[in-house]
Amino acid sequence: MKKVTLLSLVFCLSASLGLKAQQQVSIDLNTNDAKHVISKHIYGHFAEHLGRCIYDGFWVDPALNVPKKDRIRLDIVDALKKINIPNLRWPGGCFADEYHWRDGIGPRAQRPKMVNTNWGGVVEDNSFGTHEFLELCGLLGAEPYIAGNVGSGTVEEMAKWVEYLNFDGVSPLANLRKENGKAEPWKVSFWGVGNENWGCGGNMTAEFYADQYRRYATYARNYPGAPLKKIAGGANSWDTNWTDVLMKKIPLNEMWGISLHYYTIPTGNWTTKGSSTDFGEAQYFSTLKNGLAMDSLVRAHSAIMDKYDPTKKVALVVDEWGIWTDVIPGTNPGFLYQQNSMRDAVIAGSTLNIFNNHSDRVKVASLAQTVNVLQALILTEKEKMLLTPTYHVFDLFKVHMEAKQIPLKFSSPGYKVGNETVPAINASASIDAKGAVHITLVNVDAKQKISINTALNGLKWSKVTGRIVTSAKFTDHNSFDNPNKITARTFTGAKKSGNQLVAELPPLSVVELELK
């Protein structure tokens, strides 16, 4: 297959259902500029000891009538394997900085109980600990990403956890691991040195945390065959000063990455965030506006990092992101259980397009959270399980994993509500090792379809296939009574016409196209 020298995509947005004057938008993609690999770890996930994510999610009552290995729920495992889950971040979140790993090893009946003070004040029995988490990762085929305790822990505690996990030799910690049933080390690579240390992780200043990071990271050893990717606890949303201080005070060779946390709040108000299913177009729009800000946010922090690291050796790790709404009425406020609508799918696709387009700096991301919490992929109710619209978007986007990102340029038509406007379309593209081109497109407009007339210069291709996630209303969602209302379906709205690609994107749609 020849290299694609230029892909020019022409989008025609109907001004109305009456097909008045159409606005044309060109997207240029040049595969000769495809240099940066889209890391599969951009498609990572987050599982905190919070609500029903671990307990009654991944880790269930032995009496529950579902397929299990030990107490790990296997229908969840199978669903996540289907989307090639690359990594899983654990044990938090805020829980990480009150978690003491020794409480979660050894015979379960002898493990001490604790109170989860961050999330609902429930009793944590520590039955799901280090061995159980790493067994789960093994079943998933996912790399573990462990967040260490800097807030209430000690340097020695973290250092010995690394030794317990990774040392292949004779030592008290390696021997203890063997006594607990694991002869060979796990060789865990991704390691977070604390979490949200500006807040629940210790209410530290950036300067104090930077010094603490250097101290903790010094004793988190690289054992033979197990080099660590140490990730500094980065900024809360727009706090670029935090990023600046860390980049200035921590030598680049002492950290693999620096994290960033950003949640999309529909109302922009943390006190009253808005419902996950009961909202109108104005709140749909405000959610879009807040979610699409991720692009500006990544650019702002990347610009700070570029001052100190112009060759981009340090990764930006967006290890908490997603929509955060008010909880479902009648559920525990500390459990953060919310539904997942077509709005969530649109935000998920848009955010993943943003990460793909910043693949030179963004190397890891973690959606919050995997099961039953916030923008979850999976919801459970006793034996029942459903896949959310967000899950199906991840299923579409997995084609980009480890492919080369194709830079693109375009000017989107606007989606206007009231006096404000956001881009109606966003997109990313990649070329895989076999030469197939994948384009993911999101039409955020709740009313207007987008027609595509695409000229493909220099590309010999014979067919286009596609899949789509869409629904009539932005409030539509999957329920336990109707679990397949929104799924990934074959997209029949694209075809080859001469050497042109023509397609039509419905309103509220996430589309993946493959050209071969």
Catalytic residues: 196, 320
- Rounded to whole angstroms, the maximal C-alpha distance in the chain is 76
Q: Which pair of structure tokens corresponds to residue 258?
A: 């620096």
- H helix or E strand, kind and range, residue 392: helix 389-397
Phi, psi of 363 (to 5 degrees): -115, -20
Among the listed residues 116, 126, 122, the one whose alpha carbon sits nearest the alpha carbon of residue 93: 116
Q: What are phi and psi of 385, to 5 degrees?
A: -145, 140
Residue with tokens 């015979």: 107
- In terms of Cα–Cα distance, which of 150, 152, 148, 151 is closest to 164? 148
Give strand pairing partners of 421.
416
Tokens of 459: 């590309």
In whole angstroms, what is the distance from residue 35 CA to residue 403 CA?
Answer: 10
The residue type of 114 is M
Amino acid of residue 509: S
Chain centroid to Cα 143, Å, comes to 14
Sequence-distant (6+) residues with CB within 8 A of 353 are 426, 427, 428, 440, 442
CA distance linking residue 68 with residue 59, whole number of Å: 9
Are the CB atoms for 48 and 486 separated by under 8 Å?
no
Nearest residue to 339 (alpha-carbon basis) of 473, 480, 433, 463: 480
Q: Check if the beta carbon of residue 116 is closer than 8 Å to that of residue 95.
A: yes
**Residue 226's CB: how many other CB atoms inside 10 A?**
17
Q: Is 88 helix (H, G, I), strand (E, B) or coil?
A: strand
Place of tokens 């480890």: 402
Alpha-carbon distance of 343 to 390, in angstroms, equals 9
What six digits make up the tokens of 126?
């520590």
Residue of 359, 456, 413 whose CA lies nearest to 38:
359
Answer whether 465's CB lies under 8 Å from 513's CB: yes
Cβ–Cβ < 8 Å for 201, 97:
yes
- Residue 256: which of 223, 217, 291, 282 has the closest Cα? 217
Q: Are the C-beta atoms of residues 390 and 66 closer than 8 Å to each other?
A: no
DSSP 406: -
